[in-house]
Amino acid sequence: MKLSAPTVGPIIGYTAPDQTRIWFRGQFEGTGESSYRRCFGVLRYRKRGLRKWSAPLFNKMSPNFDMSCVVALTGLFPETDYEYQAGWVTLDAELDRLAGMHAALIEWPEECGSFRTAAADASRSRSYVAGSCRYLLRTFFGDIFDDRGDKIFKSIYEQSRERRIDGVLMVGDQIYADDLNFLSPDSSLPEFLKRYRTVFSQPHIRRLMACTPSYMILDDHEIEDNWPAKATEKDKVQLYPQAIHAYQIYQCSHSPLFQADANGRLDGILQKFWYSFSDGCVDTFVLDTRTERIPSGERKRMLKDEQMNALLNWLGDGSGRVKLVVSSVPLAPDFSVEGDDKWGAFAEQRDRILACLASLNGVKVVFLSGDVHCSYVADIRLKGRSKPLAYQVVSSSFFWPYPHMEEDELLDDRPLISKSGKQYTVTLRSEVQSLDNFARLDLSTAGMRVSFHARKGDLLDTPVDIVF
């Protein structure tokens, strides 16, 4: 039985000390108007350096999930290097009959991927690459996409070979479904799926995600610009379900949101898009700042109560780790453009977060954001306090072919908009980078180094060193 190489992927997703998740896609093969050939994903793995592979793991690939699957590998060892092979095949068989197939009957694709499991030791330093906003310019009404949006991932991959990267944090706008939206925005499920296939099949990002854990969250352009500020009732019942189904397939499915059973298959029904995970000295909470927001009126909010309460409890849980909060839109400062789309327009909820931070002693908190097409590091302080409440790191964009946001559009010389009566101020700790870039965050229990890198990998300005 000869396996074909994945048509999209593999993508290494959520990776813990004892497990990882690997997503990949096969191919639809119709046999009639309402039928198709059964398609199965197959994967094997082993510790690097060993000759013996695991038994092959099979998972069904369904048209409901664009012929993709996620294989969860469990029972792994912390901070250990593994390698794997993945492919797919069409067979007229049932899944349970394939489980016992002898490995010698399978001809595997030549490509071999690799990954390293997370650290269980809370004192271990971690390094992440982060960014957002990857615009793939296409021709009018065409299917030809510009490859410049992929080149930055070549630089990230090369850096990962020289200096360990424990994960890539993709902070929103992984696709621009509404590019050229005055002509032909994506609105149907096939259009959204085709967009994701194109975005994640480009060679450099594909090579990077096949060997480095990737953690994703949506922002507005996975649906439409500034969602849901301009959404009609029709958009909410037609556009949104199509966009969010595609998002779940390509970005959510390999996250920590689902539980894995003993057979390496994910189980459960998705109830939310926010999630958290830990690796070494870092606890990470990935916020959903889009799908729960109500932009105006008496019920105005960025987050539902459940998500807000989970965040506040997580901040104060006493883990002792660095608290990395991923928020697709920046917490601070406020902005002179599109200010109603950022946290400044939701001042009451931001006040709750800042008040929580003010009540905590010795908690190391970093907010990581994208969205605004520039990059910087800033302190957030309560007036009268010498020590920052938190730090804000913004990294955007991976690729943006239009003018970037400039420093004078940041209101960093003014206190944050607040309804609590308390005065919170923001101080820039870096230059504002108004060009395509990615951020590298090197985190330890003692502090953080943030460095910004241009599309070709060159260091932009001096790294920012912060002592917690």
Which tens digit of pLDDT belongs to each residue from 356-381?
Answer: 999 998 899 999 999 999 999 999 99
448 within domain boundaries: yes
208 within domain boundaries: yes
The pLDDT assigned to 3 comes to: 95
Q: Are residues 230 and 146 in the same domain?
A: yes
Handedness of CA 133, 161, 285, 249 (dihedral sign): positive
Task: Please state the domain count of the chain.
Answer: 2
Q: Would you place residue 338 in the very low, low, confident or very high pLDDT band (cuts 50, 70, 90)?
A: confident
233 within domain boundaries: yes
CA 313 from chain center: how many Å?
Answer: 22
Q: Would you place residue 183 in the very low, low, confident or very high pLDDT band (cuts 50, 70, 90)?
A: low
Q: How confident is the model over 260-278, as pLDDT tens digits?
A: 877 777 888 889 999 999 9
- What are the tokens at 312? 């506040």
Q: Are residues 137 and 270 in the same domain?
A: yes
1 within domain boundaries: no
Q: Are residues 108 and 131 in the same domain?
A: no
Across all residues in the chain, what is the average pLDDT?
93
146 within domain boundaries: yes
Q: Are residues 301 and 376 in the same domain?
A: yes
Q: Are residues 234 and 346 in the same domain?
A: yes
Q: Are residues 179 and 103 in the same domain?
A: no
Supply the CATH number for residue 64's domain.
Answer: 2.60.40.10
**Residue 47 sits in which domain range?**
8-116
334 within domain boundaries: yes
Supply the CATH number for residue 424's domain.
Answer: 3.60.21.70
Q: Which of residues 83, 116, 149 is at a domain's end?
A: 116
Q: Would you place residue 145 in the very low, low, confident or very high pLDDT band (cuts 50, 70, 90)?
A: low
Q: Are residues 256 and 237 in the same domain?
A: yes
Q: Are residues 426 and 311 in the same domain?
A: yes
121 within domain boundaries: no
Q: How confident is the model over 69-105, as pLDDT tens digits?
A: 999 999 999 999 999 999 999 988 777 777 767 777 8
Q: Is 29:67 a contact under the CB 8 Å cutoff?
A: no
Q: Are residues 100 and 144 in the same domain?
A: no
452 within domain boundaries: yes
